[in-house]
Structure 1
Amino acid sequence: MSPEEPPHVTVIGLGYVGLPLAMVLAKQFPTTGLDVDLKRIAELKRGHDRTGEVDQSRMASTSLVLTCEPHDCPPCDFYIVTVPTPIDQNNRPDLSIVEAASRTVGKMVAKSVADGRTPIVVYESTVYPGVTEDICAPILEQVSGHECGTDFFLAYSPERINPGDREHTIDKITKVVSGQTPEVLEKVAQLYGAITSGGVFRAASIRAAEAAKVIENAQRDINIAFMNEIAQIFGRMDLSTWDVLEAARTKWNFLPFAPGLVGGHCIGVDPYYLSFRAEELGHDPKVILAGRDVNDRMAEWVGERLHAARGATKGTALVLGLTFKEDVPDLRNSKVADLVASLARFGHDVTVHDPHADAAEALHEYGLTLDETALDRNYDLVLLAVPHREYLEMGAARFRALTTPGGTLADLKGALGGAADWTL
């Protein structure tokens, strides 16, 4: 790359994180977006983003080059990895996807070095401290045939995308950056600094940046766990948690967390990355795992409380909302699915409705059938689980009309302003 030539960038993984990032990068630099999902690339080329993060007009006007073939990617100066890092059935980190992405990038690094470039591989995927340097780097070296720290370099910049959030977008937030050397750090800072008005924060090391990401979400998880625990305590007292919080929030330093189901790909997952590494080092992460235990059990507790609210009598139930949060189509790690399963175990005939969720994905991931005609019938129990905008626009009277005489209207997040028979 000549001094006058802008850096070329490839973003690997075009999901909730990678696509918005690639889109803003493409405004400033020649950028390629790579995703192994052929269907995803075909949809994006037609201007459709199934995640709802980028609208059709932006897709139509972007200079971003889309491909599902690594060999189509030109030699680049930056490779940014934004693939998922889930947990397995035992709540242990599953690094298989980021490892596979590293193998793919390793081949592209070899092409870039052959082209006379010294590429920087930036990881944005959430990991525990040490993964970038201790696990990803050896894969890159082995596949590329080149030496890390000489022929190519590492960097880490934790993703901070919040699905459905139109305020804290990638072009406005502060971006934490780190690099293998001071020179690499400055190059990465310049790259991200060009795409966000929120500035960049130069972390002391790659490990520090990795750790910052996992504790951001672990902190939220623990605070929500406390809210969920007090909701369970106050539930035994027939005391509204929302009434208590309304009073407590008048204190200037009271933290504004609320009880609820903790799902999605970040808050319900990332603490397990930190606790896994802690246990490897011989430390028992009591607080982190206690919070996870409270939140993981919350859906079952809500199911029990709703069954009790119905006098322990089974009947028909309508659950409104399946995605992990309002106004997004993201079904990953949805705890509403666990709540549906809990109601079913108590014998309730459960119908699920969600205007944002993909029916095929709901069936594949959770074995649940979404009913588009669900709002045309009445139910013994109506639960507003996820307060999508479409539901709130219906109004409390419409929800009451869905409930059979003597039935129960439940509002998980207190979105109906006290109009429900049951809430946390």
Structure 2
Amino acid sequence: MTKLSPESKIAVIGLGYVGLPLAVQLAKHFDTIGIDVNAARVAALKGGHDSTGEVADGPLQASKLAYSESMSDAADADILIVTVPTPVDAANQPDLGPVRGATRALAGVLDDRKVRTIVYESTVYPGVTEEICGPLIEDVSGLKQGTHFFLGYSPERINPGDKVHTVDKIMKVVSGENAEIGNMLCEMYGQVTSGGTFLAASIKAAEAAKVIENAQRDINIAFMNEIAVIFQKMDLSVHDVLDAAGTKWNFLKFSPGLVGGHCIGVDPYYLSYKAQQLGHLPRVILAGRSINDGMGAFVADRVHDHLLKAGNVLVLGLTFKEGVPDLRNSKVVDVIDRLKWLGHNVTVHDPLADPAEAEEEYGLTLDSGALDGRKYDAVVMAVAHDEYVNLDDAKLNDLVKPGGLLADIKGAWRERDIQGDFRRWQL
């Protein structure tokens, strides 16, 4: 059985928003190597820069973390931690391709010379670690679970762009296939975070805890989006209503908007998939997803209704949330697609997003000069990046044609008495 010591070697497989911050923290205490199949990503990290912005250049350059594109460099690791994405496919079914691929790759470098612990952090539905990953490792490696290797699960809780709830400060849920593995992983993660660890009753319990954390947020936001739609029909701003309701001590303060990203917009589908496998139709979960998935079209339709005819529309922001360059599962794309379908000419601007990634993922061209000297029939603030929140009245007047529309999806300008020859709309 894997024993933790200062000489333990750890491999983190997948160096994205989750894996890199974890690997950097682990490298402070253990011999740690980060593995990623993306050669450009590895080269950038070796050069001391993280394009996701999750780890600043200074700490990254000072880290003892080693990097590699080859899984063979993880062959001598005592603990292997898998932090690859878990997306959904076009039918909103779980896509376990990245998890299966990483599992096959790591299993291919294992041997019986040492006992290892394989830990998954990727968000999955309950049962994936033990019912899919464990047997897959056995099939590929020829080794036996419980003898040559052991399984653990510790759900990631990274919130992209959040500089407060970082991996070194949050409580870490940990689980193992037996008590010894669970306690060993608590000891390891306990050296990473000051927030402490919680040993879950089982691997399945830890998997389930993670998936319901995000499903709960999704459902709460869906309620806000539904009441926003209702209040629009009453010519009420949902933000004005929430300001009043929020004065009650037990009112839950969630905000309406576009719900995308790699967690909240995806994880409920993992839970609903498993529920339906078990013969249960998860009505609340799917209803919440349906409402949130429809908000992009709703916003576009309201903009169109205000304009009455097709025009030139500037969409500010493409990433899935403010302050981050992450484009995964951005629901701003739904707004753009609907506006185009309605006949509008759409220009997209985002100061943080990678233009090449926007083109590759969505076929969209980011216009870096969109704020310079052009006027639009409508300007839609879709993502509340600081650059947009801080635009002054004069600049906003320069962007909107006389009689045009200033649409503030996020409500970021609602407290400002912006003067200009344009109409204003918000949820």
Q: TM range, normalised to the smaller chain?
A: over 0.9
Question: Which structure 2 residues correspond to residues 322-361 of structure 1 after superposition, within 5 A?
Answer: 322-361=318-357
SS at match of 1:109: coil
- Deviation, 1:369, is 0.6
Identity over the aligned pairs, expressed in percent? 59
Counterpart amino acid of residue 422 in structure 1:
W
- Deviation, 1:4, is 5.8
1:422 corresponds in structure 2 to 425
Which string of whole-angstrom CA distances, capped at 9 and with x for unpartnered residues, describes residues 118-161 of structure 1?
A: 21100000000000000000111112211101111000000000
2:148 counterpart (141, 147, 151)? 151
Alpha-carbon spacing, 1:3–1:13, altered in 2? closer, same or farther (3 Å)? closer
In structure 1, C-alpha distance between the alignment counterparts of 2:369 and 2:5, rounded to whole Å: 59
Do structure 1's residue 23 and structure 2's residue 24 form an aligned pair? Answer: yes
Aligned residues: 419
In structure 1, C-alpha distance between the alignment counterparts of 2:4 and 2:226, rounded to whole Å: 58
Give the structure-1-normalised TM-score.
0.97
In structure 2, C-alpha distance between the alignment counterparts of 1:216 and 1:363, rounded to whole Å: 32
2:56 corresponds in structure 1 to 55
SS at match of 1:59: helix
SS at match of 1:394: coil
2:368 corresponds in structure 1 to 372
Contact 2:152 2:175 in 1 (8 A): yes
SS at match of 1:374: coil
Which string of whole-angstrom CA distances, capped at 9 and with x for unpartnered residues, describes residues 176-235 of structure 1?
A: 000001000010000000010000001000000000000000000000000000000000
In structure 1, C-alpha distance between the alignment counterparts of 2:228 and 2:167, rounded to whole Å: 34
Do structure 1's residue 186 and structure 2's residue 187 form an aligned pair? Answer: no
In structure 2, C-alpha distance between the alignment counterparts of 1:308 and 1:314, rounded to whole Å: 10
SS at match of 2:109: helix
1:383 corresponds in structure 2 to 380
Contact 2:218 2:264 in 1 (8 A): yes
Do structure 1's residue 99 and structure 2's residue 137 form an aligned pair? Answer: no
In structure 2, C-alpha distance between the alignment counterparts of 1:380 and 1:370, rounded to whole Å: 19
- For structure 1, the 5+ residue unaligned runs are none
- Deviation, 1:314, is 1.2
Alpha-carbon spacing, 1:2–1:388, altered in 2? closer, same or farther (3 Å)? closer
- Deviation, 1:6, is 2.6
2:310 corresponds in structure 1 to 314
Alpha-carbon spacing, 1:196–1:378, altered in 2? closer, same or farther (3 Å)? same
Question: Which structure 2 residues correspond to residues 390-401 of structure 1 after superposition, within 5 A?
Answer: 390-401=387-398
- Deviation, 1:397, is 3.9
2:408 counterpart (402, 406, 411)? 411
1:45 corresponds in structure 2 to 46
Counterpart amino acid of residue 402 in structure 1:
L
Alpha-carbon spacing, 1:124–1:306, altered in 2? closer, same or farther (3 Å)? same
In structure 1, C-alpha distance between the alignment counterparts of 2:396 and 2:135, rounded to whole Å: 56
1:64 corresponds in structure 2 to 65
- Deviation, 1:46, is 1.1
Which string of whole-angstrom CA distances, capped at 9 and with x for unpartnered residues, describes residues 338-374 of structure 1?
A: 1011111111111000000010111111111100110
SS at match of 2:294: helix
- For structure 2, the 5+ residue unaligned runs are none
Contact 2:4 2:188 in 1 (8 A): no
Counterpart amino acid of residue 98 in structure 2:
I
In structure 2, C-alpha distance between the alignment counterparts of 1:198 and 1:398, rounded to whole Å: 44
2:281 corresponds in structure 1 to 284
In structure 2, C-alpha distance between the alignment counterparts of 1:315 and 1:108, rounded to whole Å: 57
Alpha-carbon spacing, 1:3–1:224, altered in 2? closer, same or farther (3 Å)? closer
Contact 1:325 1:386 in 2 (8 A): yes
Give the structure-2-normalised TM-score.
0.96
- Deviation, 1:401, is 2.5
Question: Which structure 2 residues correspond to residues 112-191 of structure 1 after superposition, within 5 A?
Answer: 113-114=112-113, 117-191=114-188
Which string of whole-angstrom CA distances, capped at 9 and with x for unpartnered residues, describes residues 273-311 of structure 1?
A: 00000000000100000000000011001100111111x
SS at match of 2:104: helix
Counterpart amino acid of residue 401 in structure 2:
T
Counterpart amino acid of residue 326 in structure 1:
E
Counterpart amino acid of residue 256 in structure 1:
K
In structure 2, C-alpha distance between the alignment counterparts of 1:405 and 1:14, rounded to whole Å: 48
In structure 2, C-alpha distance between the alignment counterparts of 1:122 and 1:108, rounded to whole Å: 16
Contact 1:379 1:407 in 2 (8 A): yes
- Deviation, 1:43, is 1.1
